[in-house]
Amino acid sequence: MHIRVLGAAAGGGFPQWNCSCTNCLRLRQGRFHGQPRTQAQLAVSTDDASWYLLNASPDLRFQIESFPPLHPQAACLRHSPIAGIVLPSAEVDAALGLLLLRESQPLTVYATSAVRQILTDDNSLFQVLRRQRNQVKWISMMPDVPFALQDSGLECLPVSTDGGFPGFVPEGRRKELDPREAVLGVFLQHQGHRVAVFSGASRVCPDWLEEFNRCDVVFFDGTFWSDDELIQLQGSGKTAREMGHQPVQETVRALAKITARKIFIHINNSNPILDEDSEEFRMTRDAGWEVAFDGMDLVV
């Protein structure tokens, strides 16, 4: 299994267009030891010919161009090696990229019924993906029900992370939807190798620990270092956990005994682990974790 990190940042990216936090400011000034990052996006392949996307990030067009295996074959006018897209949530930074793939290319999208309804029933903009018959084939995925990603040999097991629906979903609408379908983590399996991708999780469910230990690699929510990170920055707002993200310093403790390769992804621009000179980065690395970056490449 070949895994390419096309983007490692949380919503907004790093730097974020309207942010002058100490990370974003110093990055722009060239005084930062660390890399800029686009919004979280993975690509996975078992044959380096067809690829599955995890997320459809708002930076997807640039991310596809940055990785030649995702370019169309020169022999065809219209072609894409992207065989399918797995959407773990309906958040803007996980799903907006679908709109960037609207150029009449047949697409297969795996999503829960709730995520599909939020995107296609409630948002007329997504009608752009219905301009032609069979333009997008939606395949429902359900928590705890494994399925094959077409004929790739990849098996995908989605699990609910108990996260909430995006803030733009009206209260009344939320009540109609199954909350277990709001945010998913996924286990990908191929020929005895397993990778977990949990880029949005406000806690570690005890059931996951055994599964994580059977993985070669665990990608986990690295959005915030501390629970009050944004409150400290802005003077008000929600805690990390209220936003659906377990702080990195707590995850390090919760997954201390996991022997898999451990990588934080979906890192907010305010998170001090982006700064490779910081104490927080050193603590994260000393605890056996890596911090994902754009262009990170793994083969398991």
Alpha-carbon torsion, ordered 99, 44, 6, 108, to 10 deg: 0
List the interface residues with Zn ion, window 135-174 (CB under 5 A).
none
Instruction: Assess 19 for contact with Zn ion (CB under 5 A).
Output: yes
> Nearest distance from residue 18's CB to Zn ion, in Å?
9
Closer residue to Zn ion (CB): 45 or 226: 226
Chain center to CA of 283:
24
> Nearest distance from residue 25's CB to Zn ion, in Å?
8
The CA distance from 182 to 187, in Å, is 17
The CA distance from 111 to 142, in Å, is 8
> Nearest distance from residue 265's CB to Zn ion, in Å?
18
Instruction: Assess 6 for contact with Zn ion (CB under 5 A).
Output: no
Identify the residue among 1, 6, 10, 24 touching Zn ion (CB under 5 A). 24
Tokens 């907006």: give the residue: 96
Q: Quick one: tokens of 1?
A: 């299994």
> Nearest distance from residue 9's CB to Zn ion, in Å?
10
Measured between alpha carbons, how far is residue 118 from residues 93, 222, 282 in Å?
14, 26, 40
Closer residue to Zn ion (CB): 16 or 41: 16
Binding string, 72-101, against Zn ion, x = CB under 5 A?
------------------------------
List the interface residues with Zn ion, window 40-59 (CB under 5 A).
none
What three-state secondary structure class fits 208? helix
CA pseudo-torsion sign 275, 276, 278, 283? positive
Identify the CA nearest to 158 among candidates 96, 122, 201, 103.
201
The CA distance from 236 to 228, in Å, is 9
Total number of residues binding Zn ion (CB under 5 A)? 5
Identify the residue among 21, 44, 273, 274 touching Zn ion (CB under 5 A). 21
Closer residue to Zn ion (CB): 24 or 149: 24
**DSSP summary character for residue 181:** G
Sequence-distant (6+) residues with CB within 8 A of 77 are none
8 Å CB contact between 188 and 194: yes
Closer residue to Zn ion (CB): 10 or 98: 10
Region near Zn ion per CB under 5 A, out of 21-29, 32-40, 41-49, 122-130: 21-29
> Nearest distance from residue 236's CB to Zn ion, in Å?
17
Region near Zn ion per CB under 5 A, out of 17-25, 86-94, 118-126, 195-203: 17-25
Region near Zn ion per CB under 5 A, out of 16-24, 33-41, 193-201, 227-235: 16-24
Instruction: Assess 10 for contact with Zn ion (CB under 5 A).
Output: no
> Nearest distance from residue 151's CB to Zn ion, in Å?
42
Closer residue to Zn ion (CB): 13 or 81: 13
List the interface residues with Zn ion, window 257-276 (CB under 5 A).
269
Closer residue to Zn ion (CB): 10 or 215: 10
> How many CB atoms neighbour CB 155 within 10 A?
14
Would you call 164 exposed, middle or buried from its count of C-beta atoms within 10 A (0-12, 13-18, 19+)? middle
8 Å CB contact between 200 and 245: yes
Which residues would be at the binding site for Zn ion (CB under 5 A)?
16, 19, 21, 24, 269
